[in-house]
Each structure stands twice: as C-alpha cells, then as structure tokens.
Chain A
Amino acid sequence: MAKVEVRGVRKSFGELEVVHGIDVSIGDGEFVVLVGPSGCGKSTLLRMIAGLESISGGDISIGGRVVNNVPPRDRDIAMVFQNYALYPHMTVLDNMAFSLKLRRADKAVIEQRVKQAADILGLNDYLQRYPRQLSGGQRQRVAMGRAIVRDPQVFLFDEPLSNLDAKLRVQMRTEIKALHQRLKTTSIYVTHDQVEAMTMADRIVVMRDGIVEQVGSPLDLYDAPANLFVAGFIGSPAMNFIPGRLRRSGAASAVETADGTRIELGNGVAAQDGDEIVFGIRPEHFVRAAGGLNGRIDVIEPTGADTILYATVAGTQICAVFDERVGFRPGDAITLAPRQGAVHVFDPANGRHL
C-alpha cells in the first residue's frame, strides 16, 4: 500500500496536449475515482500512473518514489482492464499465477496466494477453465483475482464494469467496494459513470478536457459543486439549471425568473443586484408548495420507488423527483418550490458557484 502523488502532470500526443497539468494526491489505502466524459484524459492519466504511457511533464510518485522513468513491471501496481485482457490460452489458474511465475515465486507460495484470491472471489470451481468458458462477471472476477494475487502497492481500474450488463454492474460495484474495504489497497478507478463514482469512491476527481474540475468526497461534490459542470455531471437525474436575475435587498437576496417568479435565496450570494445568473436545483429538492415555480407537466415517469416529473417552467424544461406517488397527469398545472437552502447559484459567464 502506498500514497500516489500526481504533480503537474501533462501529456501530449505530438502537438496535441490532452492532459494540462494535473495535481492529485491520493492517500494510503484510499479509493479514488477519476470521472469525466469521454476524452477528458482520465484513462490517459491512469495509463501514465501504470507506466503504459510516457509522462510529458510533471511527476508521478508511488510510495514516495518518483516513477516517471520506472518501467511498468517495477512499479508494483496491478491493473484491471476494460476488456479484462485475460490470456485466452491460459486457464483461470494460470492467468492468476502468471505474474508470480514470472517473478519465480515459490510453487507453494503461488498455490497459496491463488487459492486465497480464488476464495475471496468465489472462483474455486473455475480454476481449470479457460476464459472463453466463463461469463462476463466471472471474467471480471478473474481479472481482479489476477490483480489481488500480486498484492501490489496500488490497484488501477480502467472502466472495469462497462462491458457488463446493468444488473451485473451494480453487483460487481458492490463487490469491488467490499473487496477494497477488506484489502485496503490504494485504488484508482476510472469511469465515465457518475453513479459508479458516487457509490464507490472515498474521493472523486472530476475531470474535463484534461483538467481537474473538482476533487472531493461524493457528498461534497453533491452538496457543494464548484461549478456548473460538476453540478450538472454529479447526480442523477441531473441538476436543473434555470436562467434568472439576482435581486438584492440588504444582505438577503432572491432570484427572479423570466416569468417574474421570485425565489428567496437567503444570505451570502456573491453577486450584485441585477446580475444575470443561472440557478440550479436538484430534481429531488423540489416540494409541491405555493410560492414556487409555476409550470405545466409534460411527462410523468413512475419508477415504482420514485416518480419523475418533467415540467416546463419559465420556458425551461425541468425535472423533479418525488418519493411519493403524485396524482398528476400530463398537462396539469403544478407549482414547484425548492427546499430551504437547496438552490445553487452560478455565474453563467465562467460557470463558477456564487
């Protein structure tokens, strides 16, 4: 187990710079998720930590040792690939034992380590099978087993669940989290799925276009997004954004929408009277109460546990989630008010939280 320090790391492919100076510090035993839309540089960053891509600028250190010029095999890391990258011509047993065999480990040690990993992952019945004879979830487990057997300083996961079906993905998500709680090995996990990030991470690094947008615990990012991008990216269904104008009276402030509705914000908003702003409300933070936004219901989606409403207010379509069953039909008028303190205000020019 080790700390991983990423300091000012850059990556260029020829003329094109895709990672523009990233600083992340990952603590010993921490589970950190790199999340962002495709092309944000998260996989490239992971591959630089693994040593599969060279580092164009900055430093990466693992356990206090700068590894910029250390070959991958000497970095003491294990990686789980998106396509699992199992060796098709080796049995499950040989796949898991391969790294130890290359290190000329003792036969008894190999056997014991593989058995231990197989026990943890429930692979004992499959040790003599070939990868082709396994289901997606089993292959995924073998890929993790191969990593566990190594007992490395750091686990790297590159979108390991994206080839699984939705149900299995949820199950494996829990398994990986439980595994981490048991082994406590520093883990870096790349995904484009914010739900995976929220559910698994100790800390999330939100990336976009080769820079870090925000770093924090899942609930920090949910409660206090630093900007419009993070606010819109974290949370499902996504946060509603409605344009409006700020109105101040002394310390207290309010927003006024295009149709003249006023919503009180309380104190501490760093904007001037009359400024154009965007305010955001999460779908689950609406209550049906007077003094809110008036609109008409477009679509109702009952999921059983929740009811999702899509309504148009002040010319913007918004989404609201209620955990009770609402007796509305499409076309009905509705008034939606944000819960106390649940309104986020952003500067539309630079996206920053105000």
Chain B
Amino acid sequence: MAIQASHGVPVPGTGRIRLLLDNRNLLGFLFMLPAAIILLVFLTYPLGLGVWLGFTDTKIGRPGVFVGLENYLSLLDDDVYRLAVFNTIFYTVIASIAKFALGLWLALILNNRMPFKALIRAIVLLPFIVPTVLSAIAWWWIYDAQFSIVSWSLMKLGLITEYIDFLGRPWAARISVIVANVWRGIPFVAITLLAGLQTIPPSMYEAATLDGATGWQRLRYITLPMLSPIIAVVMTFSVLFTFTDFQLIYTLTRGGPINATHLMATLSFQRAITGGRLGEGAAIAVAMIPFLLAAILFSYFGLQRRRWQHGGRD
C-alpha cells in the first residue's frame, strides 16, 4: 500500500498482476526461481535419488523395495569395499600432500623473475587443461608392461635388468596411479598458490631479510602464514577432487590389479552400472559423504578469517 501511495495517483486499469508485481517478496521469489529450479533438478533430485537408492535393493531393470540399512551392513563385511576405503584414503592423503609440496615449490619457482614468464606459466597449466581420459591414456602407455618408455629408458641406462610391471602389482599400481594424479593436480595447486604469492608485498620479504631471516625462515615465517587462507581453499578443493576421482583410475586400471586401486567412486560405478546392483552402488557413493563432509568442515574452520585478517575493532 505504501508503494502504491508513493506513486501518488493510482494508475487506472493496471489490474491484479500489476499489483502483485509491486510486492517485494513475490518479485524476489520470481527472480530466485530460475536458479532454484536448476538447483532442484540437477542437484537436489539426483542427490536425493542416490540417498534413497542406497536404502533399496534396486537393480537395473527392476525397481527395488526399501531394505533399510541392509546395503550398509553388508558393506561393513565386504573386504573389497573395505580395501576400497583404504585405497581412497591412501590415494587422497599421499596425492594431496605431494600435490601441495610440489605445487608450492613450483609456485615459488614461477614467482621469480625469469624470461618467458607468461609462456612458462601457460605450459605449467597444460596437464590441467588436457582432458583426464586423454592424459590417462598417455600414462597408460608410459606404464605399459611391454612398451613403457620409462622402463625402456632405465634399461638403456643400465639401471634395471627387466621391464617394470607398473600396473600389474598392487603397490606398484597404487603408486603409479598416485603419480599420474599428482601430475594432473599440480598445476591447479601451483597456479592458485602463485596467485596468492603475488599478493604478498615484496617489502615484507625485504623487511624480513633485514631482520635477519634466511630463505627458509622467510618461507616459514612470512610466506606460509600469509598464504594460509589460500592454502586452505586450494587444499580443500584438491582433497575433494582427489577423494572423488574416477576417470583416471577407470581409464588406467579399472580398479585392478586384484582391486588394489579400486577407489570408492570406481567401486560404486562397478557395482551399480557394470554389476547392475544400483542400490548397493548408491550405498557406496553415499558412504563417501561423511568423508567429504569432514573435509569440508575442516576447510570451513581453516577458512575462517584469521584474527589478523580482521579490521580494527575500536
């Protein structure tokens, strides 16, 4: 009414719709609707369906019935599932640490003055740009039991006497897929940390140098603390991507040998789509949620603005 009054003279013949569109709440709801629909259809519905399927014994071509926690209880006794959980955690922890260490190192190198800086930075991003399946196939060849370029080179150098079976033995395969994942993940970490490094004013390092800090001490006391907000963001993303990785494993090993590289995502796919047991596969996928939630909570607290980032309180 107040809005109507502010128009001064009421416009004749505008009708009910015009009146409704003048309502702030309704208008706000209308503007929100497209985004809400997209979220509902493409996010909430699949997620809800997945959770629901986890509580049923649905198979491909046969609608299931509600079975409660049966899927989850049977997973607890499932050796392959437990191996997949171990593999996923091992894969995520080792790959994330390696990506952080190497990414930071690369970022520090790229932050120096050097010729062809822009070109080098673009090249660094390449592994990130190439489609995962494409790079996985390249790694597949690198790891091939008979045609591996790595084995061939090491043989020629006289360092080994027989070809390495990269993907044929459990631990060799685990390490091989981690190396491929790290190679793919470094650019994201490096470029993001580089952006963070560039926000640290050079005078900070100069002051520390005059205060008597060595290179290591500058890294420890200046670079890392000032980079910590960005490290929290980039490592959260890195952990989430690694934990849910599917393409690389599926292309390289399909979870083999003897399930040694099965991650929860690949196992879920194998059980649900290849094996047709949608309910069980969905349960495995849903079982990833607590882990992911933990990672997100960790980052939530990590991401909280530190006290030194706050403005003055007086």
Interface residues of chain A, those whose CB is within 8 Å of chain B, are: 50-52, 71-73, 77-79, 81-83, 85, 87-90, 98-99, 102-103, 130-135, 146, 150
Q: A155 to B196, alpha carbons, bound, how many Å? A: 32
Q: How far is the CA of A102 from the CA of B310 in the complex (A)?
A: 27
Is there an interface contact between A130 and B307, defined as CB atoms closer than 8 Å?
A: yes
| Nearest A-chain residue to B310, judged by Cβ | A132
* Residues on the A chain within 8 Å of B222, using CB: 87
- Taking a contact as CB atoms under 8 Å apart, the answer to whether B212 and A103 are in contact is yes
- What's the dominant secondary structure at chain B's contact region? helix
Docked CA distance A252–B50 (Å): 107
From B10-18, B30-38, B201-209, give the one contacting chain A. Answer: B201-209
B89 touches A (CB below 8 Å): no
Closest to B200 in A: A88
Instruction: Find out whether the CB atom of B207 lies under 8 angstroms from the CB atom of A85.
Output: yes
Q: Please name 17 pairs of A and B residues whose Cβ atoms are closer than 8 Å in the assembled complex, sorted by A.
A: A51-B209, A52-B206, A52-B209, A72-B209, A73-B213, A79-B206, A79-B207, A85-B204, A87-B221, A88-B309, A98-B208, A130-B307, A132-B310, A132-B312, A133-B310, A146-B211, A150-B211
Identify which of A81, A89, A98 contacts B226 (C-beta below 8 A): A89
Closest Cβ–Cβ distance, residue A43 to chain B (whole Å): 12
Interface centre among A72, A85, A132 (most CB of B within 10 A): A85
Q: How far is the CA of A150 from the CA of B207 in the complex (A)?
A: 13
Q: A134 and B206: CB pair below 8 A?
A: no
In the complex the two chains form, is A132's CB within 8 Å of B309's CB?
Answer: yes
Contact of B210 (CB < 8 Å), options: A77, A131, A135: A77
CB pair A89–B308 under 8 Å, yes or no, is yes
Residue in chain B with minimal CB distance to A150: B211
The CA-CA distance from A89 to B261 in the complex, in Å, is 42
Residues of A within 8 A of B226 (CB): 88-89
Taking the closest CB of chain B, its distance from the CB of A137, in whole angstroms, is 13
A73 to B209, CA, bound (A): 6
Closest chain-B Cβ to A254's Cβ sits at a distance in Å of: 55
Residues of A within 8 A of B212 (CB): 73, 99, 102-103
Judge if B314 is at the interface, Cβ distance under 8 Å: yes
Q: Does B311 contact A (CB under 8 A)?
A: yes
Nearest residue in A to B211 (C-beta to C-beta)? A99
